């Protein structure tokens, strides 16, 4: 008599949940990195132009006032863009998404590798359901999805897990 065959649906569900969570970790890390780069660039530009107001009184700008006006307008626009799209609150929310997805991915990974990837035991199934419920509470609705970034994250997870190109 052979051992009972584990329910294949549970194993597939656990594997897909793990890959999805890992892809979201990669995606939100990329998004966080992109937002942080733009945040730094805009802050630097605004700071340089703001400190440049003292320089504005130099005679070089008197000869080329249109250049200085263009720089001043650009700084104003950069400051508005920064406050709307790269605020500290927004960056904190994206960092929170990275942290939350990392925890969810770690929970699925533990189920897959360490405990019971087949989810046969009641404890492992309960853990899987609990993690799945937690996953459903993650709110990403404030941020537009970047399909190119998502594809990049997807390919990274495929490579990490040895799934080849697809």
Q: For 34-62, how does the pLDDT look when each residue is reduced to its tens digit (9 = 90+)?
A: 888 888 887 887 777 766 655 555 566 66
Phi and psi torsions of 117, nearest 5°: -65, -20
d(CA 115, CA 138): 25
Is residue 136 one of the residues assigned to a domain?
Answer: yes
**Parent domain of 88:** 8-154
Average pLDDT (110-126) is 75
| Unique residue bearing structure tokens 């400190």 | 51
Q: How confident is the model at residue 1 (pLDDT cuts 50, 70, 90)?
A: very low
Q: Residue 23's closest CA among 127, 164, 161, 142? A: 161
Q: What is the DSSP letter of 110?
A: I
Is residue 164 one of the residues assigned to a domain?
Answer: no
The whole-number pLDDT of residue 97 equals 95
Is residue 55 one of the residues assigned to a domain?
Answer: yes
Q: Residue 35's closest CA among 106, 92, 111, 110? A: 92
Is residue 65 one of the residues assigned to a domain?
Answer: yes
Average pLDDT value for the chain: 82
Distances (CA, A) of 69 to 52, 58, 72, 80, 156: 12, 14, 5, 17, 45
Count of domains observed in the chain: 1
Is residue 131 one of the residues assigned to a domain?
Answer: yes
Query: What are the tokens at 23?
Result: 């892809």
User: Whole-model pTM above 0.85?
Assistant: no
Is residue 160 one of the residues assigned to a domain?
Answer: no
């Amino acid at each position: 008599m052979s051992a009972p065959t584990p329910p294949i649906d549970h194993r597939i569900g656990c594997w897909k949940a793990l890959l999805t969570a890992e892809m979201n970790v990669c995606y939100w890390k990329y998004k966080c990195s992109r937002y942080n780069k733009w945040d730094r660039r805009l802050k630097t530009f605004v700071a340089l132009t703001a400190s440049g107001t003292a320089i504005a009184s130099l005679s070089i700008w008197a000869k080329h006032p249109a250049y200085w006006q263009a720089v001043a307008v650009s700084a104003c626009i950069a400051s508005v863009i920064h406050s709307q799209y790269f605020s500290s609150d927004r960056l904190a929310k994206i960092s929170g998404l990275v942290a939350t997805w990392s925890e969810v991915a770690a929970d699925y990974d533990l189920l897959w590798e360490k405990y019971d990837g087949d989810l046969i035991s009641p404890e492992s199934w309960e853990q899987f359901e609990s993690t799945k419920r937690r996953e459903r509470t993650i709110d990403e609705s404030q941020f537009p999805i970047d399909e190119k970034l998502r594809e990049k994250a997807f390919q990274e997870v495929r490579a990490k897990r040895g799934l080849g190109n697809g």
